[in-house]
Structure 1
């Protein structure tokens, strides 16, 4: 409770008073300090845990890998990842792999993210929706349409995640940015429970391509279904038409 509420010092006081500390409570302190950005203290607890004779579990390793990845410290994240792979009692799971993939993708290292994703698939670790969405986003950033299609095909072939909203939104974003708007619209139409991200992605893509009629049709459909545009909707439309050289439309939406 205290860790979740950000009261790390209070949590530490309780932790120090505990006579018997199991792997769960050590993990709480390790992930707690990591989530606050204090990796030094997190690592100190990681070392203290081993000195106390408590063996780290997969949750412990994943916490360290995730927070190094999110901070863009990939060398450190990779070092922990490979140390984890060398263990006999357990190996990296989908959370471990996804931490490296999303960390690379979010920090502008899209090519490296795809390399890790490829290795993950080769080792037959089944991805989750976050893994797939991050890999597709990496393809979008690099304009790698063929790679994006292969990931899309993988989802269809394995009959997993193809209808997941997070995956669907990433695919809706991929195809228009690779100049294939019709495929994006088909994917958009196939989403049963669209959220605002789905609508915003499709509208921004239409705006970037200068599709006036389609933009207004989709915008009106969105509002008729009771989905109210937010600042991202408006910014996507304004920016899209500005980049397309249609200043009049950009000003109209402004």
Structure 2
């Protein structure tokens, strides 16, 4: 057995063990024995350093390679993508093209991901044309990458065309369509894809269920959510799946059935930090902050350490329930107990809590003394408090910060108008509405929905298009008249 084969075998055994120290020792021996010019050994070194996350060492090996094979290019590009270094990945890919190489079906998936991460839509479209030209469109992994690229770039029509032209659609492909359309707000389309998936006899997996449950939340479709829960119970494949359990807890709470969320939570065989955080958030969503605090304590007693998201959930629960002192105590203890500074989300929750209950000066001081730059969510929380308590001075300051951060968001202008209206400041209303007209902004119609006999009905403010709208409004007027006469 040659020295090259021995060193190569050692390096490849280091990969699954993430054995950095033996890999570096082997690297040194390769240099001492004058074998560093060997392409196989260089590629093995590149692989082990990349898999161990030592990208600088990997890049040093890559840059010194006299001859790079296809495998070495693919390793370097994929490693950068796996570490979300999309700019570096695309730089290596452009170098790859410049020296006359042609991508293969291993090169393209990570490059599509890098295009998504960097917002390089035109490059992604060019790559798609190469996929077709090189005959890779029927490779499921490549086709899935193209599909994922279009979905995440919100080019849904292009995604549909790719999907329709795919000869083979596995569970991953269907999951991409469901989650992609659901994420974009096209919940009905996502539900239709799910029905078609079942109709085609494709097996759902543990990724399908959370995606479609999230769609049910967006559509307010409790009945469909219950049906999917039934499928989960019937299928032994998902017994004890904590991700599905978490999704069920979230779905029931957001569809108004907190008691079902509690039942799912209590019947779960294993709980992770996400489970506790989700249940805490659900109690907060329903204004049951005391239960959130009890659960938060129980979670810590069982040895779970809250992360940033958990702390956001408990602070939001305090805000929805008016638990001011408890919220202050938790917020002030973040750095002391958990070892990190409060995030923007934590500040936004605290400002919301103080603002809701009239502590606007304290909330404003908190914003002014932040170590972080206040975001739209923070100024928005402060503005919301000013609407409730008719504070035009702080409200104008918050609104004008929002105008700079979110100049195309009509809600901020409407919110400021609400304060002016409550105080009879008609000049302020005129100025704000004139600014909206100048920017071409219009108020977004409010929407609500109701589930009747398993069908979801949506209602938009001022929309008279539904066939029964006249009867609905006449009935509503009749109810109002009865209520008024009862008061008299």
> By the TM > 0.5 criterion, same fold?
yes
Mapped pair 1:92 → 2:174: no
Alpha-carbon distance, 1:240 to partner: 3.1
Once the two structures are overlaid, the 10-residue window that deviates more, 184-193 or 124-133, is: 184-193
Name 2:96's counterpart in structure 1: 14
Give the gaps of 5 or more residues in structure 2.
Answer: 1-74, 81-87, 332-488
Aligned alpha-carbon RMSD (Å): 2.7
Match of 1:3 among 65, 69, 77: 77
* TM-score normalised by structure 2 residue count: 0.46
8 A Cα contact 2:285 2:317, kept in partner: yes
Alpha-carbon distance, 1:54 to partner: 5.5
Point out the structure with max Rg over C-alpha. Answer: 2
Mapped pair 1:138 → 2:215: yes
Name 2:148's counterpart in structure 1: 66
> Which secondary structure state, in structure 1, belongs to the residue aligned with residue 94 of structure 2?
helix
CA distance in structure 2 between the aligned counterparts of 1:55 and 1:64, rounded to whole angstroms: 9
Once the two structures are overlaid, the 10-residue window that deviates more, 143-152 or 103-112, is: 103-112
Q: Which has the higher contact order (CA 8 A, sep 6+)?
A: 1
> Which secondary structure state, in structure 2, belongs to the residue aligned with residue 47 of structure 1?
helix
Name 2:305's counterpart in structure 1: 228
8 A Cα contact 1:133 1:166, kept in partner: yes
- Provide closer, same or farther for how the CA distance between residues 224 and 143 of structure 1 changes in structure 2, counting only shifts above 3 A: same
Alpha-carbon distance, 1:144 to partner: 1.8
Name 1:204's counterpart in structure 2: 281
CA distance in structure 2 between the aligned counterparts of 1:190 and 1:114, rounded to whole angstroms: 27
Name 1:113's counterpart in structure 2: 190
Once the two structures are overlaid, the 10-residue window that deviates more, 158-167 or 57-66, is: 158-167
CA distance in structure 2 between the aligned counterparts of 1:252 and 1:33, rounded to whole angstroms: 44
Once the two structures are overlaid, the 10-residue window that deviates more, 148-157 or 110-119, is: 110-119
Once the two structures are overlaid, the 10-residue window that deviates more, 160-169 or 242-251, is: 242-251
Mapped pair 1:186 → 2:260: no
> Which secondary structure state, in structure 1, belongs to the residue aligned with residue 106 of structure 2?
helix
> Which secondary structure state, in structure 2, belongs to the residue aligned with residue 160 of structure 1?
helix
**What count of residue pairs does the alignment treat as equivalent?**
249
